[in-house]
Structure 1
């Protein structure tokens, strides 16, 4: 699994040695001799992971990490701090600066490569989301706004450990950071993770068999749990077990003896990354909604109607179910805009849409077709049923004046209805033309009425 890695160290020998180790594993390596140079490289070319020395002249590694994580453009890039500092407070400073990991020199190949593979996998998943949501970031808000909206959400963490005392200690250590639920039975833990949608999962590797590793594998295979961050607790001398957990899909690990502050900081790191990805998914969903919904009325738009109409036509052609389509046009709508202004016209459209959705059947699809035109797709309806629904809509609109701009406006609607029975092979454009012809026949006949198209 290759990736583009930036090695940052003010000592040339260190840069060369680390670059050689990474190159032997087929990573694409760039180097920078200072914090300033590292930031310049990030601005100039795509980087997947930053391996950053802490003790450097000028900008030290902590400050460089803070600047990377504060940048909307680079905040998603994983940063691994590599240093000779080995005190718990040093790791805490690095994690609080936003580092995704903190490795102590000399770094052995096993933990380094395991970390890189894990972070590469996570980075690629995030990059895919960012690519899909790029338009969303422009339409529904930037990344900084997105992250601010998610920051204050309460966190929920599930813990699996077979040692009751360990569970109590974790609960005490993370008090104030997250709501904690502890489980000793792996199946109950799996079931709760799938049903309760926690933010982070903690799995204790301390067991006589490979049960915890199998548990991680099951979590990654489950549809409901495959994206949940997994934080592993490992023995101090069990680098192989921790590396295996990362290979199976764990996101991070904490080695014993467990420092409370480090555990909390790593939990926050996982929570921050999860919420970042959730924000991307939400922005993507918002963009999809913008593409298929009318922003004024909240109804689905013509694009969405076309896709649903195509499905209905296929079901009818297959002999499964007929359908009907009604096109509705607000009568004399131009007079409303000209006489009361476009704000009043928008208010009429919004109120019309609200009445329309409460008048149709629950299975019917209501869309804004364009301008003052609306459409109702009625699955399973024949021409008679569709005509009755359209007539009910007409009566609902006519019965009660619209309260707009301090006045009561009498509004009416004309409708055209067409139907296709099961076994009918009719292109959706033909169906639209028949309903449209029935609508204009109703308008020519005096408006405020329902026209029906002849059977196909």
Structure 2
């Protein structure tokens, strides 16, 4: 995986050494000598990963640079590995609490460094893809430009932590640390039914294979995006690297340090909330792209995208597809008499009735204004006419109650029905026939269903009322 990595160290020899190690794996390396320079360079160049030294003379040190990078929307999603000669608990916690994803001690173990880099870059790729799609949604106008950053919207609150470990004393220590902020349960407990926000897996367990647990979680649909914190022996480099290769997002060494596991859990869950928020906004933007905002029905874009393959399938001898086009009678008069707010209320109420009188397999769409279309897969023209008549009766049988209007409003609809019947049909010709039937229904008195005669191409009245 190629990526751009920013190396920050005040010593040229250290920068050159890291540049050579990373360059050997075909990474593109940027360098900086000071903390302030690193912050500005990261803001401008947007690297995929930052390797940040702590001890830098003058200006700001690595901890402060990390805090600044994690506080800016442009750079807070970039993973940071702090590199230092200060191999003590206090400095390790300072780095993790400043927002760094990892804290490695010099001299750097090359295997651990490359394994950690690859693991963090894999996560960065996913975040970048989500951010790119979000940017596309903003350009399309389906995600508001004033929307707050997802990380700001989803600051860390209590989460669910699932612990998979057979060491009783170690489990007790993990629970004591994490239950201060989160709900902690063991695999198999009743509470484990709740969706976890973090899984702590021991790869040193005696009664099960922790690596297999990690692999299954990373491949399972429900747990694919679940952050995994692997517990390893401090000197077992092979198991550490293997856990990262299989998909663990972070590593903590035994014996468990309570403050360290708290810091690592916060970082992992904060990143999960950030990615969940991005996915949620993308799901919402997709829904907005195919949904009519007033009625909640599908929109014109969805209509044509869904109808085309159904008509094509029918042309090739597949199942029939029918459409009904619906127009609310005298809707302009209703708007002029009661106002556009009343008209909107009628459209929303009609959409509810339309939804309750169509099958789950049908697609109810708003074409625009007071015109609607229902796509009916696997439906012949005669059956579609019966469904249209049921809808017509539902609309005219019960007046519409509109806020601000003292009395109920009588509303009727005219409906045209057409079915794809031959190999020459296209989306355009099918909708045109349905429109012709609709115009005939309006011309002959409204409040009726007219369907094309599905054998001869003539207009026939499926049902006339009054």
Does the alignment reach a TM-score above 0.5? yes
Cα shift at 1:442: 0.7
Q: CA 1:153 to 1:445, structure 2 compared with 1: closer, same or farther past 3 Å?
A: farther
Instruction: Tell whether 2:178 aligns with 1:180.
Output: no
**In 1, Cα distance between equivalents of 2:203 and 2:359:** 55
Q: Which residue of 2 aligns with 1:127?
A: 128
Which deviates more, 227-236 or 164-173? Answer: 164-173
CA drift of 1:178 comes to 2.3
- The alpha-carbon deviation at position 77 of structure 1 amounts to 0.5
Report the RMSD for the aligned CA atoms in angstroms.
2.4
Q: Is the 8 A contact 1:330 1:413 kept in 2?
A: yes
Matching residue of 2:461: none
State the Cα deviation string for residues 104-154 of structure 1 (Å, max 9, x = none).
222221221111111111111211222122233564356744234433554
- Report whether the alignment pairs 1:325 with 2:329: no
* Worse-superposed segment, 140-149 or 6-15: 140-149
Give the drift of 1:208.
5.7
Matched ranges for 1:112-261 at <5 A: 112-136=113-137, 139-141=142-144, 144-151=148-155, 154-183=158-187, 197-207=195-205, 211-261=209-259
CA distance in 2: counterparts of 1:33 and 1:362, whole angstroms: 62
Shift of 1:318: 4.8
Q: Is the 8 A contact 1:50 1:77 kept in 2?
A: yes
The 1:24/1:323 distance shift into structure 2, 3 A limit, reads: closer
After TM superposition, the structure 1 stretch with the greater mean CA deviation from structure 2, 5-14 or 309-318, is 309-318
Per the alignment, residue 427 of structure 1 pairs with: 426
* Displacement of 1:314: 4.0
Q: Separation in 1 of the partners of 2:339 and 2:205?
A: 73
Change (3 A) 1:196 1:175: closer
Contact 1:236 1:256 in 2 (8 A): yes
Output one character per residue of 1:349-372: Cα deviation in whole Å (capped at 9) or x when no partner. Answer: 112111211222333221111221
Task: Spell out the pairing of 1:341-360 with structure 2 (5 A cutoff).
Answer: 341-360=339-358
Distance 1:177 1:117 in 2: 30
Determine the structure 1 residue equivalent to 2:90. Answer: 89
Partners of 1:88 and 1:294 in 2: how far apart? 56
Greater Cα shift, 208-217 or 41-50: 208-217
Q: How much does 1:182 deviate?
A: 2.0
Cα drift, residue 33 of structure 1: 1.5
Structure 1 gap ranges (5+)? none
Following superposition, the deviation at residue 43 of structure 1 comes to: 2.4
The equivalences for 1:257-272 within 5 A come to 257-272=255-270
Worse overlay, 102-111 or 263-272: 102-111
Q: Note the 1:21-60 alignment, pairs <5 A.
A: 21-56=21-56, 57-60=58-61
Structure 1 SS opposite 2:450: strand
SS in 2 for 1:403: coil
Structure 1 residue 312, shift from structure 2 partner: 2.7
- SS of equivalent residue, structure 2 residue 401: strand
- Deviations for 1:37-80, whole angstroms, at most 9, x for unmatched residues? 11221222230001111222212222221221122221111011
Question: 1:181 is paired with a residue of what secondary structure?
Answer: strand
Aligned length: 448
Question: Gaps spanning 5+ residues in structure 2: where?
Answer: 458-466
- Preserved CA contact (<8 Å) 2:54 2:63: yes
- Map Cα deviations across residues 192-226 of structure 1 (whole Å, 9 max, x no partner): 99x75422121112146992223322322323323
| Cα displacement string for residues 343-395 of structure 1 (whole angstroms, at most 9, x for unaligned residues) | 22222211211121122233322111122111112233332322222222222
Check the 8 A contact 1:62/1:93 in 2, yes or no: yes
Aligned-residue offset at 1:296: 1.0
In structure 2, what is the Cα distance between the partners aligned to 1:155 and 1:388? 52
Does the 8 Å CA contact 2:325/2:373 hold for their aligned counterparts? Answer: yes
Secondary structure of the corresponding residue to residue 229 of structure 2 = strand
Q: Give the deviation of 1:439 after TM superposition.
A: 0.3
Q: Quote the residue 1:337 is aligned against.
A: 335
Q: Which shifted more, 210-219 or 408-417?
A: 210-219
On the 8 A contact 1:136/1:283 being kept in 2, the answer is: no
Q: Aligned partners of 1:279, 1:335: CA distance in 2, in Å?
A: 45
- Distance in 1 (alpha carbons) for counterparts of 2:414 and 2:206: 75
Residue 450 of structure 1 pairs with residue 449 of structure 2: yes
Distance 1:133 1:146 in 2: 11
Displacement after TM superposition at 1:177 (Å): 2.7
Name the counterpart of 1:13: 13
- Greater Cα shift, 438-447 or 66-75: 66-75
Q: Which digits, 9 at most, give the CA deviation of each residue in 1:219-276, with x for residues without a partner?
A: 2232332322111111111122111211221111011222101101101111111121
